[in-house]
């Protein structure tokens, strides 16, 4: 996908995969709109990118996409700034770890709002303009957790399964329109995800955010609906389809079993 002088909006850009995607998009010539809760982190990244790439335009929109109606506020800010979006990267997300019956309902609602509702809302608000222009792209970040149920991460895995199904369906709907739609499925990655859950698990084989971002941008140049980052992750994601459902659930449960509190 051609990115020179195009505008890419990246949610969850204040750290981890989103921050690295922003850097690599800037390297490939894109202007940026950075969205996340932490305005200070976004401003730091904005200054860093402009220092490395003086010709880029970088707009910061602080927003908490775990709040209802945040997507509308982001799009209103885009319109006020006169910034049409050529590439939407829905990266913002949050995880949890623990038995569902012990989860705080308010925290579960925020997870669903962020991982599903705001992602769908932003896609629905920005995709029509891309289709009208006959060009653009949407990258929705799911997870390797999307390929199977995951006890102790039940709502998180289900939310990512939604993202995978939703985005692959959009890929089918937009074929031949000039709009590139992609699901990115990282495995365990060295980000604040694990710190935020308060648990330590999947400690081996984690990728770096830079590796995941490269997978996403390379996949944008292809045609497949889904990109799984990392060979081991691709093999395990494909292998799950051959397991009986009960065995799949037990295997995924063992894989994410917490070793100790962080």
Residue 240 falls in the annotated catalytic set = no
- Residue 2 domain-assigned (yes or no): no
What does pLDDT average to over the chain? 91
- Residue 1 domain-assigned (yes or no): no
Per the structure, the complete domain to which residue 24 belongs is given by 7-261
- Residue 124 domain-assigned (yes or no): yes
Q: Which residues, other chains included, contact 68 with Cβ-Cβ below 8 Å and sequence gap of 6+?
A: 113, 117
Q: Which residues, other chains included, contact 145 with Cβ-Cβ below 8 Å and sequence gap of 6+?
A: 153, 156, 157, 160, 161, 252
- Residue 113 domain-assigned (yes or no): yes
- Residue 69 domain-assigned (yes or no): yes
Per residue in 120-166, pLDDT tens?
999 999 999 999 999 999 999 999 999 999 999 999 999 999 999 99
- Of 25, 15, 33, 6, the residue nearest 214 (C-alpha): 25
Task: Kindly name the residue from 156, 162, 193, 194 that is annotated as catalytic.
Answer: 156
**CATH code, 190:** 3.40.50.720
Q: Is the pTM of this model over 0.85?
A: yes
The percent of residues above 70 in pLDDT, for the chain, comes to: 92
Per residue in 229-238, pLDDT tens?
878 888 877 7
Domain count along the chain: 1
Per residue in 77-127, pLDDT tens?
999 988 899 999 999 999 989 999 999 999 999 999 999 999 999 999 999
- Residue 207 domain-assigned (yes or no): yes
Cα gap 53→125, rounded to integer Å: 29
Torsional class of 5: left (φ above 0), alpha (ψ -120 to 50), beta (otherwise): left
* Local confidence band at 260 (pLDDT 50, 70, 90 cut-offs): very low
- Residue 26 domain-assigned (yes or no): yes
Range list of β-strands (E), the chain: 7-11, 31-36, 58-62, 87-90, 136-141, 179-185, 199-200, 226-228, 260-261
- Residue 150 domain-assigned (yes or no): yes
Mean local confidence (pLDDT), 39-64: 97
């Amino acid at each position: 996908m051609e990115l020179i002088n195009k505008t890419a909006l990246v949610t969850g850009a204040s750290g981890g995969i989103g921050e690295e995607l922003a850097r690599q998009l800037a390297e490939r010539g894109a202007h940026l709109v950075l969205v996340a809760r932490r305005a200070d982190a976004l401003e730091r990244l904005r200054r860093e990118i402009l220092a490395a790439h003086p010709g880029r335009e970088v707009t910061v929109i602080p927003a908490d996409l775990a709040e209802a109606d945040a997507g509308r506020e982001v799009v209103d800010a885009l319109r006020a700034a006169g910034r049409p979006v050529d590439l939407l990267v829905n990266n913002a997300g949050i995880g949890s770890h623990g038995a569902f019956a012990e989860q705080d309902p308010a925290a579960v609602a925020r997870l669903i709002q962020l991982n599903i509702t705001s992602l769908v809302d932003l896609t629905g608000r920005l995709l029509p303009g891309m289709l009208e222009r006959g060009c653009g792209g949407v990258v929705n970040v799911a997870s390797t957790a999307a390929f199977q149920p995951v006890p102790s991460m039940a709502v998180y895995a289900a939310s990512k399964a939604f993202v995978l199904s939703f985005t692959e369906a959009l890929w089918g709907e937009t074929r031949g329109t000039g709009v590139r739609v992609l699901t990115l499925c990282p495995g365990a990655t060295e980000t604040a995800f694990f710190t935020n859950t308060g648990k330590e698990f999947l400690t081996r084989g984690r990728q770096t955010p830079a590796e995941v971002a490269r997978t996403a941008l390379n996949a944008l140049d292809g045609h497949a609906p889904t990109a799984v980052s990392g060979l081991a992750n691709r093999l395990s994601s494909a292998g799950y389809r051959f397991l009986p459902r009960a065995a799949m659930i037990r295997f995924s449960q063992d894989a994410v079993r917490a070793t100790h509190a962080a």
